Amino acid sequence: MSETNDSIINTNEGGNNQETEAEGYSIYVKGLPGNATPALLENEFKKFGPIKSGGIQVRAKNGFSFGFVEFEVASAVQSALE
């Protein structure tokens, strides 16, 4: 995973302001709703390309929810950022 991409995108799905940042084949998503699940992220991001098995994590810290999506290929990251 030698590719590094420091792009950030904002998405507004269901009234939530989410920011997504990518590095390598992974995307960091912040601003998730408190009830976010790995299945929610999978539904939102699988359309961009194959997601690595076990490559979705959702965490909450200090009242903020965030997640990570790890794709199998760099082109999926690019598609998600467009």
Instruction: Name which of 42, 63, 62 is nearest 54 in CA terms.
Output: 42
Alpha-carbon dihedral of residues 34, 40, 45, 47, nearest 10 degrees? Answer: -150
Q: Compute the mean pLDDT over every residue in the chain, rounded to the nearest whole number.
A: 79
In the numeric block, the tokens 């810290």 are attached to 61
In the numeric block, the tokens 């302001």 are attached to 17
Instruction: Write the pLDDT tens digit of every residue in 9-46.
Output: 344 444 445 566 655 799 999 999 988 999 999 999 99
Which domains does the chain show, CATH number per domain? 8-81 (3.30.70.330)
Contact criterion met (CB below 8 Å) for 45 and 52: no
- Kindly report the length of the chain: 82
Contact criterion met (CB below 8 Å) for 43 and 31: no
